[in-house]
Amino acid sequence: MDKNKIIQDIIVNLKGITSSLETLVKTLNESADSEQKENTKEVKQKQPTLEEVRAAMAEKNREGHREEVKAILVKYGANKLTALDPEHYVEVLKKVGGIK
């Protein structure tokens, strides 16, 4: 086989591989972007409101767990619910829900 023909075949194959890799990278990037958008939506949907946190705490207070509820607030740097940073709502709800 002629050396020039071999070189041309290699070049054609490399171009095909390059094209396939570019398609793969594009597909992976689109998939990652889509997954990131879904994760962002889940975080936004799962963010509880002040009223939900208040209701959960009020229920535990009525059940006689006032000190435990207060300790959870203090742990997250608040002396009352309205002083609690909303970024802690998820964790606080989990802790309050775990009170038995």
Residue 34 has pLDDT above 70, yes or no: yes
Q: What is the mean pLDDT of residues 33-50?
A: 75
Find the domain containing 83 and state its range: 50-97
Q: How many domains does the chain have?
A: 2
Q: What is the pLDDT of residues 58-91, one digit of tens each?
A: 999 999 999 999 999 999 999 999 999 999 999 9
The model carries a pTM of 0.55
Residue 44 has pLDDT above 80, yes or no: no
Average pLDDT over the chain, rounded to an integer:
89
Residues of the chain above pLDDT 90, percent: 79
Q: CA dist 21 to 8, 13, 26, 64, Å?
A: 20, 12, 9, 63
Same domain (yes/no): 32, 65: no
Query: pLDDT: is 86 or 43 the higher one?
Result: 86
> First and final CA of the chain: distance in angstroms?
82
Same domain (yes/no): 58, 39: no
Same domain (yes/no): 80, 64: yes
